[in-house]
Amino acid sequence: MTSEQIDLTHDTELIGEYEQVHMHVFGTPLRVLDHGQGTHVWDVDGNEYLDFLAGIAVNSIGYAHPAWIEAVSAQAAQVAHVSNYFATRPQISLAAKLVELAGAPQGSHVYFGNSGAEANEAALKLAKLYGRSLGADKPYRIIALEHGFHGRTMGALSATWKPAIREPFQPLVPNFEFVPANDLDAMRAAFEATDSGPVASVIMELIQGEAGVLPLDPEFVRGVRSLCDEHHAKLIVDEVQTGMGRTGKWFAFQRDDLGGITPDMVTFAKGVAGGFPMGGMIAFGEELSNLFSPGTHGSTFAGNPLGAAAGLATIGVIEREDLLVNAEARGEQLRRQIRACGNPLFESVRGRGLLNAIVLTHPCAHAAMDWALEHGLIINAVAPNALRLAPPLVVSENDVDEAVHVLAAIPSDLPND
């Protein structure tokens, strides 16, 4: 497909209508999408795309998986919402399943929310209750990493580094501090600055997704775990992007090459329900879990049965179709073929499983993304010089071949963004 052949008549018209009625927080949509099947999606003019973004690491089992459709349809016909005065079977099964997949100890508990930001709000509120329980005479602190991303709500934003998205909303929640990623000395210094109060918690991603898919050094991750143990602080691992099979394990913390540590809290969202809005947090162990009591936190939609059914269906497909193994194998294939493809625009490729980024020799990521889109491939300009690739976990060997075929042809002389 060449750009000249793409008809975008309906897309253009609908995008005009979109712009008139939507808040301008996302920029102009690239296309208006109509339907999807597996790893492919079609726009309203009938143009077909191979999707290597998957709704930002959300559509883990691809579009319109029959098992997902059946589970969500059946649940919709049965009961779609009940409120938290009541419980439903799917939410009970999903919570138990998540505790099992995370390998969390006996007594661990799950809180469900509806998004990644809400998952992190829950973790940060629990961290605050834990901080209070330390009983120090100084305020406790929460440490986050430079370049980390945890969401857009006020608490999650307080832990999000990027000044352009955080500073307009200051003052935010007090006593958050940022430490450079992979700088264990700086982390130790932050812990030892006890004059400004004890550290209650550290929150971090093991692969900094929005920052450009930057894996942390395993030694740093293990060092942070030790510092938390030594100073009685709780480690929150934000697996909103890395979780639910994306990196080839259920959770990135289970990978030795990302530290292989046990967190105190894990947050999840994006891929957990295969496209249904759903998120949450697992608190490891009884003591931490018990800091929340009735009334201290909640959400009307929390544990919603439709979302829970979607989650169970998604996890079921990942298990039955052996998608953790596929994520690892296709990820290796993708990185190998990108390295071998000979495009002089590509400096390097990094990532784990199916969360990867190509680093470009000059900052033209938006132009490269647009070029790929015009040639039938959806990718994402995650940083000025980095393209993120996060296809559905059901991606095939042939899909990867096709994607690399397009990537290899991206002109290396695109203008800077």
Ligand X SMILES: *Cc1c(COP(=O)(O)O)cnc(C)c1O
Give least dist CB 114 to ligand X, A: 8
Site for ligand X in 253-312 (CB under 6 A): 269-270
Q: State whether residue 374 is helix, strand or coil.
A: helix
44 is in an annotated binding site: no
CA distances for 323 relative to 103, 229, 317, 353, 397, angstroms: 18, 34, 8, 10, 13
Q: Which of 149, 220, 276, 346 binds ligand X (CB under 6 A)?
A: 149
By C-beta, is 150 or 234 nearer to ligand X?
150
CB atoms within 10 A of CB 97: 17
Of 8-16, 143-151, 218-226, 318-326, which segment contacts ligand X by CB under 6 A? 143-151
Cα–Cα distance measured from residue 395 to residue 43, given in angstroms and rounded to the nearest whole number: 20
Cα distance between residue 40 and residue 36, in whole Å = 6
> How far from the centroid of its chain's Cα atoms is residue 35's Cα?
23
Place of tokens 């809290």: 265
220 annotated as belonging to a binding site for a ligand: no
Does 352 carry a binding-site annotation?
no
**89-128 residues near ligand X, rule: CB under 6 A:** 115-117, 120
User: In the complex, what is the shortest distance from the CB of residue 120 to ligand X, in angstroms, rounded to a whole number?
Assistant: 6
Site string for ligand X, 231-260 (x = CB under 6 A): -------x-xx-------------------
By the rule CB under 6 A, 210 interacts with ligand X: yes
Measured in residues, the chain has a length of 417
Applying CB under 6 A, which part among 96-104, 203-211, 296-304, 373-381 lies near ligand X? 203-211
Q: Is the torsion defined by CA of 79, 84, 87, 88 positive or negative?
A: positive
Question: Minimal distance in Å, beta carbon 113 to ligand X?
Answer: 9
**Count of residues of this chain found to bind ligand X when the rule CB under 6 A is applied:** 15
- By C-alpha distance, which of 278, 279, 254, 274 is closest to 392? 274
413 token code pair: 């002389």
Q: Is 238 annotated as a binding residue?
A: yes
Residue 21 has φ and ψ, to the nearest 5°, of -115, -5
* DSSP secondary structure of 330-371: HHHHHHHHHHHS--TTEEEEEEETTEEEEEESSS-HHHHHHH
What's the closest the beta carbon of residue 252 comes to ligand X, in angstroms?
10
Least Cβ distance, residue 122 to ligand X (angstroms): 12
Nearer to ligand X, 157 or 283 (CB): 157
Annotated binding site for pyridoxal 5'-phosphate: 116-117, 149, 238-241, 300
Annotated binding site for N(2)-acetyl-L-ornithine: 152, 299
Provide the binding-site residues for ligand X, judged by CB under 6 A. 115-117, 120, 149-151, 205, 209-210, 238, 240-241, 269-270
